Structure 1
Amino acid sequence: MKIVDRYITQTVLSGTLIVLFILVGLFTFFSFIDELDDIGKQRYGLQQVIQYEVLKIPQQIYDLFPSAVLLGSLLGLGILANHNELTVMRAAGLSILRIVIAVLKIGLLLTLLAMLIGEILAPLSQQYAYHNRAVAQSEHENQQIVFNNRYGFWARDGNDFINITTIFPAGGFGGIALYQFDDQQNLQTVTYARTAYYQNGQWLLKQVEKNHLQANQITREYLENTTWNAILKPELIKIVVIDPHQLSSLELYKYIQYLKHNEQQTAQYEFAFWTRLTYPLTAITMLILAIPFIFGSLRNVSVGQRTLVGALIGVGFHMLNQAAGNIGLVYGINSIFSALFPPLLFFVAALFLTQRVIF
């Protein structure tokens, strides 16, 4: 029976990898076509576009894996069903439950691999892709301008507000304006710095102009450098340049804690965070959904028809997931519930349909 288990595993694995390769290829191609419009912006040429798209592939794999595992399982098991191999296996004494367990084993392994890609490789490659793209499109080769409007990036740190206009490739920041208020929200100090670097848990501001606002006068002083203690770290600033759905769970958690500390809205990021945590449930649900379509009422239809049904299910799940997230944000529904509702609903439906087939 171990030989049969390996055969089922190889079939599901090959089907999933084929579908994943096709889906990633299609989405990468469409993204490449869209990116061609930016060719010619400063030093952003065809080579940079190709590099940018290649670096985005790990994120594409992570995003498309649940759909790929559904379609791949339908493809692989569907071929076995059409060739009557599943019938022979069952006639030889292999139960449907045993087949399901064999499919789940490879599904769990692939899900773990996809999660490692999404949590470790994808965020790094995605941020590196955006970094290189911004550098290539900036006016100066040694400077990365990451903000698309003249107001730059604004952040709050307790009673302090900071404005940053540029990010340097080496990790520093330029065009810093720091506004410090007291507990009564009265502006106390306005500090301008040409550059800033984060060292030993504090900001080192260089070429500083510091303005002290008092009741009857403004005192100005010029400093070669000064320090500013804050919980705001460079990685938190760089996080907001990337879509929150493309960050690792740990990065999202850190940013949520920062927003909570400053009493800012966190619903959008909490939904993204819990969506990432429910990723294994989503992937396994898509895998289980393939079982009733192979052994149930669709067992006599063609592979193409099964694939179409699988695609419709995948699209339906995606639409429900997006709708749950948007409704939750608009009406203030708990982020955990909004993120868990679609996968749990499909999971219960998958278990119900599967148990009818098995038992």
Structure 2
Amino acid sequence: MRRLDRYVGKTVLVSILLVLVVIVGLDGIAAFIDEAEDVSATYTFGQVALYVLLTLPGSCYEFIPFAALIGCMLGLGQLATSSELVVMRAAGVSIGRLTWLAMKPTLMIAVLGFALGEFMAPRTDQMAETQRALAQNPGQSYSGRHGVWNREGNTFFHFNAVETHGVVHGITLLQMDERQQMQSSLRARQATYEGSYWVMEDVVKTNFSSWQNTLEEHATLRWDTGITPELLSLVIVEPGQLPLADLYRYSRYLQQQGLESEDYQLALWRKLFQPFAVGALVLVAISFIFGPLREGTMGFRIFAGVIVGIVFRTSQDLLGPASMVFGFPPVYAALGPIILCLVAGTLLLMRAR
């Protein structure tokens, strides 16, 4: 039995890894082609390649559920096509045991993927966004294409890039009053964090009043704020690319500022439940192999896996915004597709017995 366990587990594991390599490779090629359109004297092909390479861990994490679904279909489908599953069933191996044998390697992949998305992908994604912003916007630039906006109280601020050692490039600050009328605007080439405040360099500030506007220029200017480099580094990447602790911390910060935090709460629940999503999708794949796709071709199994994956991802993408529009908790939006897959996979397996 141990030899059988290793054989089934190895077949499924190798199929999942091969599918993951193909999907991530295709996504990397597409990303390189897309980024190559922005090649310039400062943003070279080498830097484009570095950017794509740094985003690969995040791509691996994102595509693990999809790869587990299709890989499990292909691995078990290969055993079904060669009649090995029929022999195993004739030898007295139950569907429940075969399900568990196929689940074990996928759960291992899910745990490794969770660790990848929690500890490695967030750092490499932040590094990728920072190096691209710095390459596309040299030090003298005040504005940038890939910068982000944020808010603290009545101050709206934009920045191009954040370096890990506490240096921010391309800063714009817009100060509003209680009626949301602009009081001043400020631009700075860069700012350095000094422990409890920022020192901005090459500052140009415009003060607005009802009768005249005044312009000030400063070589350096102190900026007192509770915003830290760690906090800024959270907003340069998508919520789904952040680790759980940062998602929780930043969603609390947004709530304290009176801002919407549903995006970050939804990303937190999705990341927390991703191992369960992998298990649910694999259960659907197993139920297909023992049920409607038992006699199907390899191409049709791939097609079915792609369709199931698209439906699963689309349902996630629809339920997320729906939770914000209709006001139900984001945890339900994250759990809904998973529960649906678990129910569908369980029912199909029960019919296959």
TM-score, structure 1 as length reference: 0.84
Unaligned runs of 5+ in 2: 209-215
Distance across 1 between alignment mates of 2:143 and 2:205: 26
Q: Kindly provide the CA deviation profile for residues 126-167 of structure 1, in whole angstroms up to 9, marking residues without a partner as x.
A: 1111111112111x2x46867439xx7554434x52534454
Judged with a 3 Å threshold, the aligned counterparts in structure 2 of structure 1 residues 148 and 81 are, in CA distance, closer, same or farther, namely same
Partner of 1:275: 270
CA RMSD of aligned residues (A): 3.4
Number of residues paired by the alignment?
A: 349
Which structure 2 residues correspond to residues 49-64 of structure 1 after superposition, within 5 A?
A: 49-64=48-63
Preserved CA contact (<8 Å) 1:134 1:145: no
Change (3 A) 1:198 1:335: same
| 1:216 aligned residue | none
Q: Give the whole-Å Cα distance in 1 for the aligned partners of 2:24 and 2:288.
A: 25
Match of 1:217 in 2: none
Q: Is the 8 A contact 1:9 1:106 kept in 2?
A: yes
Cα distance change on mapping 1:264 and 1:59 into 2, 3 Å: same
> Aligned letter for 1:28?
G
Aligned counterpart, 2:155? 161
SS in 2 for 1:43: coil
- Corresponding letter in the other structure for 1:25: G
Residue 230 of structure 2 is matched in structure 1 by 235
How far the C-alpha of 1:110 sits from its partner, in A, is: 0.6
Aligned with 2:155: secondary structure? strand
* CA offsets 1:34-69 (integer angstroms, 9 cap, x no match): 122111x23112211111111111111111111111
- Give the corresponding residue for 1:123: 122
Seen in structure 2, the aligned counterparts of structure 1 residues 26 and 203 have a Cα distance that, compared at 3 Å, is same
Alignment partner of 1:289 is 2:289? no
For 1:211 and 1:145, locate their aligned partners in 2 and report how far apart those are by CA, in whole Å: 15
Distance change in 2, residues 1:145/1:91 (3 Å)? farther
CA distance in 2, matches of 1:295, 1:119: 34
1:263 is matched with which residue?
258
**Residues 1:145 and 1:302: Cα distance change in structure 2 (over 3 Å):** farther
Q: Match of 2:37, SS? A: helix
The unaligned stretches of length 5 or more in structure 1 are: 214-219
| C-alpha distance 88-268 of structure 1, shift in aligned 2 (>3 A) | same
- SS of equivalent to 1:56: helix
1: CA distance, partners of 2:28 / 2:202:
44
2:241 aligned residue (242, 246, 253): 246
**Identical residues among aligned pairs (%):** 33
- Closer, same or farther in 2 for the Cα pair 1:197/1:262, shift >3 Å? same
Structure 1 segment 86-235 matched on structure 2, within 5 A: 86-138=85-137, 140=138, 142=139, 147-148=144-145, 154-158=149-153, 161=155, 163-167=157-161, 169=163, 170-173=165-168, 175=171, 177=173, 179=175, 194=188, 195-204=190-199, 226=222, 228-230=224-226, 232-235=227-230
2:338 corresponds to 1:343: yes
2:33 is the counterpart of 1:33:
yes
Letter in 1 for 2:270: T
